[in-house]
A and B are shown apart, each in its own frame.
Chain A
Amino acid sequence: MIFKWFNAEQGSAVERFAKRDRLNPLELLPWILAIAAYYVFPSYLPLGSQILLTILFAISLDLALGYAGIITLGHAAFFGVGAYSAGLYALHVTGEPLSGLVVAAIAAGILGLLSGLVILRTTGLTLIMLTLAVLLIVQEFANRARPITGGADGLNGIAMLPIFGVFRFDLFGHTAYWYCLSVLFVMWIFGLLLVRSPFGRSLTGVRENITRMHSIGAPVRRRLVTIYTISAAMAGVAGALLAQTSQFVGLATLGFERSGEIVIMLVLGGIGRIYGAIVGVVIFMIAQDSFARANPAFWSFWVGLLLVLIVLFARGGALGIADNLVALLRGRKK
């Protein structure tokens, strides 16, 4: 199977071009592993659910940052808005989870659209600062609007109804795991279709050479706002998953730390390739969890060291290393 994957990129250029978007068997591997993990590590399910929803968050960031080149440090704004709207929806309307996801996606999407219309006029450092500003505004709003959001105490007492009226969220996290996995799977397919569509290709064009995209008459800004909105909605769904599975929403969902960490995880895995999001999050969160358990007082030091090493020695992230290895193997075969 692996050899088939290596060979797929050989042959004539036209052949390769025609096949490039076909689903590769290797792409099913993460899903097989995720299902296997359920049976192999039944006592790690709460961490597993957190990893799955963080992967979704990282994929959403990858759409904006990796594919369209929108550099942002404020993506937690959408994650948090999704979490709060799902939490509020469950508290005040109904604890039905799936409609909660839709509400969260819409709320976060609207914020993405509105803020995108304003801040995507800028690029580079200004853009980073503005994304940060949006995050801080939303954060301070949540902090101040105590009657609605519970302020620094957070939203307590969220009770979820069973999914489809059958699967109750249990203490051991069985339901939460399958729930997060299914939502992630659907979103992953959506993300793949999106980046491999003409629209997705045009985003890469914007990222690589914005001047040329302007000269061929592509509606650059509209494309950027569109992908930013989609990315925001997806981040909102990830936030909603956190709210629903942990049945609590706090200010930390809107924290700068969460914004920064998700960028780090994405860079760790490799940006602009969807799978970087999966690999980076899995490595980072498992490392963090094991370090923290082994040494509760000094774990952040080890996580920091890991990051320094990755940045120094693996510029393309973990998948960058994998690429280099594959290239090396192929070179040897010739």
Chain B
Amino acid sequence: MKFAKFAAIALAATILPFASAMAQTIKIGFITSYTGQNASVGVMMDKTVKLWMKEHEKDLPAGVKVEILTRDDTGPNPETAKRLATELVTRDKVDFLAGVIWTPNAAAIAPIAAEAKTPFVIMNAGTSAIIPSGGAPYTVRVSFTLWQSSLPLGQWAAKNNLKKVYSLVSDFGPGIDAETAFKKGFTDGGGNLVEAVRMPLATQDFAPFMQKAKDAKPDAVFVFIPAGVQATGVMKAYSDLGLAKEGIKLIGPGDITTDEELPNMGDVALGAITMFHYSAAATRPANQAFLKMWQRDYGANDWPAFEAAATWDGMMAIFDTIKAQGGKVNGEKSYSLLKGWKTDNSPRGPIMIDPENGDIIQNEYLRRVEKVNGVLGNVEIETFQTAVKDPWKLLNPKK
């Protein structure tokens, strides 16, 4: 019976395009968090989708329309995310699943994408293991992995006279990835990780953790928290307890100086060193164009951060896939087109989706928070490594 149902759907999917060749609607199920922890990031991703549609809907083949179905997964709630994804593929029959801030949610959705043969484009969640070394069927990622940024940062720290580093990370998948990757890069280069502390994911007050870090008198504190308002909380604790005065540097992946929160942090953020793939302050033309569109629509004081860049590129990948198929999309074809998709026109520079496993390949930039025309920005000092594949997959090859 189940096969019959699938056959019926498949048949309908083949016949329908001919029946209604005039108006072809392609549905994208977009899941993110509009409420709960980090709702501000969900809203930013939503703004990006709207901006993309406004700018690029006209690029679609004639007669093809794209419909976005937005859903709220209410924060790190995989049960909800899974139910929403199931409904989107079974009831709304979407052609793509996309979005998702939280790692546990993305991990819960990936099997649904595989079972329904609907491509799933992860636009944020950055734990390496969501996409194992052999790939996760029908899942690709356009955002980043924590390994990509934290491993090179560890290597940089070891080379640049930071002898003792204290690590503070959120106690969940990405945090543990960040800690492990940094530790590997740092200790392999001869550094000494004095202590690695994991903080509960929902922590609001970072002062107790920061105090303990200060007491250990390291050369730097390595921090990872999910980007968003928590980043400002970390910066506040770092400033209130006067770690900077003691000469203790603040380093981490770009989440701790995320572009949209920088204006809220103030001058204390100056000098923070991060390794990351996107900065709103980047000077490359693709980013300047993106920033101009963004601030035209959302105001000069609104800054797109890396989640916006990933959402933007994700939409680009989906649109390219639709165009390549002339508007008649098919899950299997879309997935094979997404793998190996690449562009030089991303706000973060050249990127590519790994044809082998579907994860992102991109440059990592070393950045320092500086004032540019009176505004704080993550200024890219150097392109630290180019075309970085997820290091975790290289260290944990397919068994």
Write the residues of chain A forming the contact surface with B, with a CB cutoff of 8 angstroms: 43-44, 46-47, 50, 143, 146, 151-154, 156, 170-173, 242, 246, 248, 250-253, 292-293, 296-297, 299-300
Contact = CB atoms under 8 A, between A and B. Distances in A.
B48 interface: no
A299 B34 CA distance: 9
A138 B170 CA distance: 20
A46 B172 contact: no
B35 A300 contact: yes
Given A43-B91, A152-B201, A153-B173, A299 B72 contact: yes
A171 B3 CA distance: 12
A146 B200 CA distance: 11
Interface in B70-87: 70-72, 75-80, 82-83, 86-87
Interface residues of B, number: 35
Interface stretch (B52-60, B102-110, B257-265, B336-344): B102-110
Contact of A296 (B70, B112, B170, B200): B70
B72 A252 contact: no
Contacts of A172: 5, 86, 90
A152 B104 contact: yes
Contacts of A152: 76, 104, 170-173, 200-201
Contacts of A242: 79
15 contacts: A46-B87, A46-B90, A47-B83, A50-B83, A153-B103, A153-B107, A153-B173, A171-B116, A246-B82, A246-B83, A248-B104, A252-B80, A253-B79, A296-B46, A297-B43
Contacts of A50: 83
Contacts of B115: 171
A297 to B, nearest CB: 4
Interface string B295-324: 000000000000000000000000000000
Interface string B174-188: 000000000000000
* Most chain B beta-carbon contacts within 10 A, residue among A47, A156, A172, A248: A248
Nearest to A253: B79
Given A152-B104, A297-B46, A43 B87 contact: yes
B82 A292 contact: no
B27 to A, nearest CB: 14
**Nearest 3 pairs between A and B by C-beta?**
A43-B91, A152-B172, A296-B72
A297 B72 contact: yes
B399 interface: no
Contacts of B170: 152
A10 to B, nearest CB: 46
